[in-house]
């Protein structure tokens, strides 16, 4: 729901200020529409339904994986594709993977989103509407900004959305913002963040040469600078930064590279997430044995790590697989 438009509409109607909060409480609690808002006068509910679309996004397609993961492709009002994912874990956790942009202007070689056309930054309301969509299906308790886009390129809107997630059931401690290390945004995060939101850094390589090869953004913001910012964050907040490291066969998965990674990171500031690669084209994922050997070498450096569980691969909902299929884009563009 476009919260700015909601505010303006209510103000123009001369409604008391608390109405905004009433509407938001219903929406954040998973209401299906204005009809459900029983503490609003009927006439107002009708007017709002006509003036303020209940969601800024419309659902184009939705798929459910065998493991319960749901991937939804939305469209913004001006036609940009946006994907988001709900992950349901056996222990009851319900985690959302949210997009911050339609597409992504960065061109990480292993990520499908980088191969599609970049659309634009999403507004805070468009980000929240992804969460509300899933909230209408089930209570939710975790969120990661690991969908389409680079959150630090859209810092203000991402942060505005994240600030409201507790109303939807997701506390700041259960919210993670992931970045390639886009330095201007990362610096702002470290300087300005006043809530315990988690930070994750997509690293994927233990040295600049390799990282620049697979992540062109590294040419602009090299390892030394982004790791220094992350350490500054840990020193300020006492909260470790997660390192994401996607395992690419024969590229970054040698045990010696694990040792180098351990040396680069040190024991005090980081926790590493080793991510099995989800095929998107040009690389092969490391085998299980290879990942285990890498982890063993990393364990020897005493840097803590875990291997991430892969979800939703059968519906292209897994990490790095979010990209609107050309077919869908063509259909959306064609006259009905
Ligand atoms: N742009 C931000 C937010 C997106 S996060 C960032 O990169 O951090 C998406 C995560 O999935 C990143 O850690 C990314 O490196 C990882 N990823 C990308 N492609 C992947 C793939 N094919 N398989 C597994 N993980 C992938």
φ/ψ (deg, to 5) at 162: -60, -35
Calculate how far, in angstroms, residue 205's C-alpha sits from the geometric centre of ligand 1.
13
Q: What is the pLDDT of residues 213-235, one digit of tens each?
A: 999 999 999 999 999 999 999 99
Task: Answer whether residue 330 shows pLDDT above 80.
Answer: no
C-alpha to C-alpha distance for 34 and 9, rounded to whole angstroms:
14
pTM for this structure? 0.93
Residue 17's pLDDT is what?
93
Greater confidence, 278 or 236?
A: 236
Return the residue whose CA atom lies nearest to atom 5 of ligand 1. 146
pLDDT category at 97 given cuts 50, 70, 90 is very high
Give me the catalytic one of 83, 126, 150, 229: 83
For the chain, list the domains and their CATH numbers: 1-54 (1.10.150), 55-315 (3.20.20.70)
pLDDT of 85 > 90? The answer is yes
For residue 145, which atom of ligand 1 is closest to its CA? 3
The rounded distance, in Å, linking the Cα atoms of 213 and 215 is 6
Based on the residue annotation, tell me whether 111 is a catalytic residue of this protein. Answer: no
**Angle 58-180-282 from CA coordinates, rounded to 5°:** 80
H helices of the chain, where? 3-12, 18-28, 42-51, 124-135, 155-168, 183-192, 208-214, 217-220, 223-237, 255-265, 288-300, 326-333
Q: How far is CA 142 from CA 22, 176, 180, 332, in A?
A: 24, 8, 21, 31
């Amino acid at each position: 729901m476009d919260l700015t438009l909601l505010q303006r509409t209510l103000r123009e109607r001369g409604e008391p200020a608390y109405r905004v909060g009433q509407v938001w409480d219903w929406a954040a609690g998973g209401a299906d529409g204005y009809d459900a808002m029983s503490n609003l006068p009927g006439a107002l509910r009708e007017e709002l339904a006509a003036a303020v679309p209940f969601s800024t996004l419309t659902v184009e397609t939705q798929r459910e994986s065998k493991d319960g993961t749901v991937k939804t492709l939305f469209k913004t009002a001006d036609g940009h594709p946006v994907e988001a994912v709900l992950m349901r874990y056996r222990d009851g956790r319900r985690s959302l993977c949210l997009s911050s942009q339609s597409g992504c202007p960065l061109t990480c070689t292993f990520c499908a989103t980088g191969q599609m056309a970049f659309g634009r930054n999403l507004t805070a309301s468009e980000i929240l509407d992804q969460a509300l969509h899933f909230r209408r299906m089930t209570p939710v308790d975790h969120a990661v900004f690991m969908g389409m886009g680079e959150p630090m390129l859209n810092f203000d809107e991402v942060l505005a959305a994240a600030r409201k997630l507790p109303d939807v059931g997701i506390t700041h401690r259960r919210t993670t913002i992931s970045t390639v290390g886009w330095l201007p945004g990362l610096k702002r995060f470290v300087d300005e963040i006043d809530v315990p939101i988690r930070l994750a850094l997509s690293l994927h390589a233990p040295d600049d040469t390799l990282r620049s090869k697979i992540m062109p953004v590294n040419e602009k913001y090299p390892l030394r600078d982004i790791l220094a910012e992350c350490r500054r964050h840990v020193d300020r907040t006492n909260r470790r930064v997660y390192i994401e490291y996607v395992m690419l066969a024969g590229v970054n998965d040698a045990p010696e590279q694990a040792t180098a990674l351990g040396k680069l990171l040190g024991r005090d500031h980081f926790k590493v997430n080793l991510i099995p690669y989800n095929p998107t084209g040009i690389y092969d994922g490391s085998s299980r044995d290879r990942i285990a050997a890498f982890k063993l070498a990393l364990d020897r450096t005493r840097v803590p790590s875990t291997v991430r569980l892969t979800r939703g691969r059968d519906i292209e909902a897994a990490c790095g697989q979010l990209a609107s299929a050309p077919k869908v884009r063509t259909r959306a563009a064609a006259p009905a």
